[in-house]
Chains A and B, each alone.
Chain A
Amino acid sequence: MIAFFLKNPKLVRGFSISIAIVELFLSATVFGLYRIDAAEQFQLIDRFESWIPFETFNVQYYLGIDGLSAPLVLLTGLLGLVAIFSSWNVTERVKEHYMWLLVLQSAVMGVFTSLDFFLFFLFWELELLPMFFLISIWGTGRKEYSAMKFLIFTLLGSAFMLVGILALYFSTSPHTFDMTLLPSAVIAANLIMPAATIFIFLFIGFAIKLPVWPFHTWLPDAHTDAPTAASVILAGVLLKMGGYGMLRVLASFFPGLIAEWAWMLALLGVINILYGAAATIRQTDLKRLIAFSSISHMGFVLLGISSVAGVAGHVSPLGLTGAALQMFTHGTITGMLFLVVGFIYEKCHTRYIPELGGLASKMPFLASALLLAGLASLGLPGTSGFVAELTIFLGTFPTWKLFTILGTLGIVLAAGYILWMIQRTLFGARLGQFNTIKDASLAEMFPVGALAVVILAVGIYPALITDVFSEGVQPIIDSIEQSLGSMPR
């Protein structure tokens, strides 16, 4: 079962590291315990039915995982540990820092494992507060502004989401928040608001999180000004909550609608990809560059999801599996990017690309790590990024030829910004002030190495993850094909 570690006031680094290791171990165990081809969709259930048991307001404490959420749980455990390591050098208010990191991890873990919609929403909101404090207290640059922007944007999205959640709750009879029952309940429900409205409200909530253009403006500021650990978790895991929500909620509960509007998802996805990539090329701050590249990569996720429109009533599982895989791989890749950049920033005291140069000779380990992560980001075969993007394209091409072609342009642009960034910062003439910088310490090498291993492992043998994902995605595909079949042609 998933253990939730809430805040711990008397925390010291070592204690939190051990907690995070236990957490990772647990999440890996959970992942390992997930049996493919089992009968029930959801496994490892933890259910307390009478949490708030009233006929008009029935909420259960209901957790479980399925194929879709199991790898994301693993990702959360992994990145949580990475984040704790990356905060090794934090000196100010150490215990609050780790406290917020652990609460954050619990909250995101809760989102991925919740099977009760109210509980899902509660965990969704729970991550706001730790993120706000992490950015505003330990961040850099315009941290207060970025933290506030992040919070208000996300809160706005969840406001809309709440309306959608409550609408669904009160439309079903008997009223239920149970996410395992909702897909069938929604079809039979007497909706108190038009289905399209509920869909849009929920979509807005997830779209702000993913983020989808034009709701993305909070991301560059929040990512850039956050401390390394927060950036790792924010880019690596929090953004995935948006994609997970779209798959778990929008695709499962509204199969007909999502197929109808898949074209819009494809269009927005392509805008994300191209606009994100174009903006990335112009960046001169390393972290901001990675932030914009995240927007671009999340566009791939959206493109993959848009494959649900299907071709002649048949939806290829590749699109959704690819989208889910992209979420996992982007988490590891961008996590590693932010990690390495964070260490570079600590040692060189600047993130401004024109001021950096020739770092490879002084910091070979970090330089190779950055190179690996960068190549994975642009989708070099052998890395997990390649597998994810290829799967998405294979899945979406039959449905949306033009959009997919435009999407592949994103790879070209990605190669552009990544290689250019690497050339400028790692190679080239070494600047004088960097003569005394040191390479990564042992504590810093460990998380970087861990992520590198995962990136390569999934790149070489993706079935480790894709088998689980494709099983998780199958029920969604089934219900979409069912609704496509029943739609008049």
Chain B
Amino acid sequence: MTLHDLYILSPELGMVGVAMALVLADLLLRSKRMLPVLTLIGLILPLGLSLILWSDINVSDSNGMQGLFGALIVDKFALFFKILVIGTTALVVLSSVEYVEKFDRLRSEYYALILFAASGMMLLASTVELITIYISLELTTLPLAALATFLRTSRSAESGMKLLLLSAVSSAVLLYGMVLIYGFTGTTTLVGISERISMDLLSGGFTMANSALLFGTVLLIAGFGFKIGSVPFQMWVPDVYEGAPTPITAYLSVASKAAGFAVIMRVFYESLSIQGFSTDWGNLFAVLSALSMTIGNLIAVRQSNIKRMLAYSTIAHAGYLMIGLAVLIAKSPGGDMVPGSSGVLFYLAGYAVTNLAVFSAVIAISHRIDSDLIEDFAGMGHRAPFLAAVLTLGVVSLIGIPPTVGFMAKIYIFGAAMSSGMQWLAIIGVLNSVLSAYYYLRVVKTMYLQIPESKKGLAPGLSIRVAAASSFAGVIIFGIYPTPLIELARAAADSLLY
């Protein structure tokens, strides 16, 4: 480990440091209220370090910095995700402030575990070597599995157990795929894999080994597919989302998904984007995308628990995101690059803001009324007007109606599909958006039109109002002027192409 390595790892190290400091602080502090404040202040450290790295890359005009014997790379792509994860973490922490009153103890561990998971996600965006990918994946999942059980109800324990077991199984599948690819290419770095495969292609010999590569790739897709909640690996999502504490559900749906997409793009773009082969997995992603969108939306219609409904909505949105994966390296008929990767990044950022708006409102409301059922949200238009408005705007963004960032993101990513020959996928995408309007608007209708049993007003706490307000602002501002966000996404995506 050289000093340079430490430098490029500094955001993650900062995050871990803050996490450990939190646990220590808990031993020293009497008042538990300071913990979230300390967490938020602590988050400034990794954020600052990431921004320093970003400006460093800008100044040196390089494509990124490598470290740890080529296992890590810090480029704009990685930094985009790091900053996204930090932002998401901050909003989740803000939303959790009231919620953690449900836990009688272990509050500092809650925040610390979130930060540990965040560090894993940040690392995941930087890794370019198979073993490191695996390690980061575990680092991300294990804290989340623990966090899922924090409510200490049987539902909660079940969800944590499911998350743990199923991610263990999927990690094993992933590892098997990695082993196969290693066996075929003799190297674990993504760049090395790409070189070996193209070398073999050039030299012409490719029969037995080809099927090993294919099989390994399929297993990789299976392992990663679990992480992002794509069909047919989505069975864990509804149960885990329903049982876990709602802020953790929010965190899973946004940050964990973002990290998953980051690593998929990294792996498939850098190592497996070979002529002829890439259309194979591109088409596979297209099919999975179509299935995820449709199945996710169809089953969501029948849900009566809002967390389960949002879980299926997450599956559907994973489908929309995978459209970008399907066209990741496609070329439009005109020959210019298709915005597949920047589409995914822009959509992820927009989805993060949108989903956090929805979840912050849901967290606040269901915490007060102590129920997760949609029908208990009746009359929230009067009882909690601000939160109802935030939830409505978030839902409108999820459907893809202006003036929200969801609208922009959907058009961007459908445009990517249209321009690269996958028009059928774009058609399925728009039809699914229409379908999703039905169940999303049902929540809005319940809030504004149904007569509630009690007319008491809900007074949400300050921190969750801040979280709700900032995500609300994000959804509208980027809905009307998405250019800065799109620019960031493109800069990050371009660095992926080196």
Contacts and interface: CB of A to CB of B under 8 A. Distances in A.
Chain A complexes with chain B: yes
Interface of A: 50-57, 118, 122-123, 125-126, 128-129, 132-133, 136-137, 144, 148, 151-152, 155-156, 159-160, 162-163, 166-167, 169-170, 173, 190, 192-193
> Which interface residue of A51, A53, A159 has the most chain B CB atoms within 10 A?
A159
A461 to B, nearest CB: 39
Top 7 nearest A-B pairs by Cβ distance?
Answer: A159-B430, A170-B419, A166-B418, A155-B434, A122-B402, A126-B402, A156-B434
B426 A163 contact: yes
A56 B441 contact: no
A53 B418 CA distance: 19
A136 B402 contact: no
Contacts of B337: 56
A171 B421 CA distance: 11
Contacts of B431: 156, 159
A167 B431 CA distance: 16
A128 B433 CA distance: 14
20 contacts: A52-B483, A54-B339, A54-B486, A56-B339, A118-B411, A129-B396, A129-B401, A133-B448, A136-B445, A136-B449, A144-B449, A148-B441, A152-B438, A156-B431, A163-B414, A166-B426, A167-B418, A170-B332, A192-B421, A192-B423
Interface in B423-481: 423, 426-427, 430-431, 433-434, 437-438, 441, 445, 448-449, 481
Interface string B39-51: 0000000000000
A125 B402 contact: yes
Nearest to A193: B423
Contacts of B482: 52
Given A126-B402, A170-B418, A163 B423 contact: yes
Contact of A192 (B418, B427, B433, B449): B418
B370 interface: no
B414 A166 contact: yes
Contacts of B486: 52, 54, 57
B106 to A, nearest CB: 41
B426 A126 contact: no
A132 B441 contact: yes
Nearest to A124: B402
Interface of B: 332-334, 336-339, 396, 399, 401-403, 407, 411-412, 414-415, 418-419, 421, 423, 426-427, 430-431, 433-434, 437-438, 441, 445, 448-449, 481-483, 486, 490
Given A57-B339, A144-B445, A162 B414 contact: yes
A307 B336 CA distance: 42
A166 B338 CA distance: 14
A53 B490 CA distance: 12
A192 B396 contact: no
A5 B466 CA distance: 27
Majority SS of interface residues in chain A? helix
> Which interface residue of A126, A144, A160, A190 has the most chain B CB atoms within 10 A?
A144
Contacts of A167: 418, 423
A148 to B, nearest CB: 6
Contacts of B490: 54
A297 B151 CA distance: 61
A403 B305 CA distance: 54
B438 A148 contact: yes
A133 B337 CA distance: 41
A394 B437 CA distance: 44
Contacts of B448: 133, 136-137
A192 B419 contact: yes
A317 B418 CA distance: 36
A170 B415 contact: yes
A197 B402 CA distance: 26
Contacts of B334: 173
A52 B485 CA distance: 11
Given A152-B437, A155-B434, A163 B418 contact: yes
> Which interface residue of A137, A169, A170 has the most chain B CB atoms within 10 A?
A170
> Which interface residue of A55, A166, A167 has the most chain B CB atoms within 10 A?
A166
Contacts of A55: 336
B341 to A, nearest CB: 12
A482 to B, nearest CB: 27
B242 to A, nearest CB: 26
B339 to A, nearest CB: 5
A159 B434 contact: yes
Contacts of A132: 441
Nearest to A55: B336
> Which interface residue of B338, B418, B421 has the most chain A CB atoms within 10 A?
B418
Contacts of B412: 57
Nearest to B338: A56
Given A125-B401, A129-B401, A162 B483 contact: no
Contacts of A169: 415, 418
A54 B488 CA distance: 12
B312 to A, nearest CB: 18
Contacts of A193: 423
A193 to B, nearest CB: 6
B333 to A, nearest CB: 7
Contacts of B338: 56
A125 B423 contact: no
Contacts of A57: 339, 412, 415, 486
B396 to A, nearest CB: 6
A170 B411 CA distance: 13
A200 B486 CA distance: 31
A144 B423 CA distance: 34
A162 B427 CA distance: 9
A126 B403 contact: yes
